[in-house]
Amino acid sequence: MTLLASVRPDDWDLPLFLHVLGAMALVGSLVLVVLALVSARRGDSAAGLRLAYRSLLFGVIPSWILMRVGAQWIASKEGLDDLDEPPAWVDIGFLTSEPTLLLLIAATVCAGMAARRAREGGGRAFGGLNTATLVLVTISLLAYVLAIWAMSTKPS
């Protein structure tokens, strides 16, 4: 696999670039959401929740799409999507990415509702919606660390 990485065909580079770029923006945006939610609990809840919601809507979801489109493109180039039994690291990638989209959509809805309530003055920084968003985002982040491990170590 080390050799494979060093002699990768040139036409795999663009899909791999888009996949990694999407993944980096995805994880970066998710950590920003966590930081904004923690900040909302400690101080300015309206600003923190607004930042968390916008990060999810304009950062996390588009990044997920870029990461996933890049993943499918590179898998197609490598012929991994035609295999009856794909390698474990490919399975781990799909198993961590697809279910987490649902978590991320749910987190976006929760953060949007929490931000709206905070703006209208009725939201509490420690409310259930904030906690739900934090839990959903944290689970997704942990799944992505597992995916990064699988992509880099390529367990068979």
Stretch that binds another protein, among 53-61, 79-87, 90-98, 119-127 (CB under 8 A): 53-61
Contact present, 22 and 74 (Cβ < 8 Å): no
Q: Is the Cβ of residue 35 or residue 69 nearer to another protein in the bound state?
A: 35
Stretch that binds another protein, among 36-44, 97-105, 106-114, 116-124 (CB under 8 A): 36-44
In the list 47, 57, 80, 132, the residue contacting another protein (rule: CB under 8 A) is 47
Burial class of residue 7 in the structure, from the number of CB atoms within 10 Å of its CB (0-12 exposed, 13-18 middle, 19+ buried) = exposed
In the block, residue with structure tokens 């839990």: 135
Stretch that binds another protein, among 37-45, 94-102, 117-125, 131-139 (CB under 8 A): 37-45
User: CA-CA distance, 114 to 126, in Å (whole number)?
Assistant: 10
Cα–Cα distances in Å, from 56 out to 34, 91, 100? 10, 25, 13
* Binding stretches for another protein (CB under 8 A): 1-3, 6, 13, 16-17, 20-21, 23-25, 27-29, 31-32, 35-36, 38-39, 42-44, 47-48, 50-51, 54-55, 59, 145, 148-149, 151-154
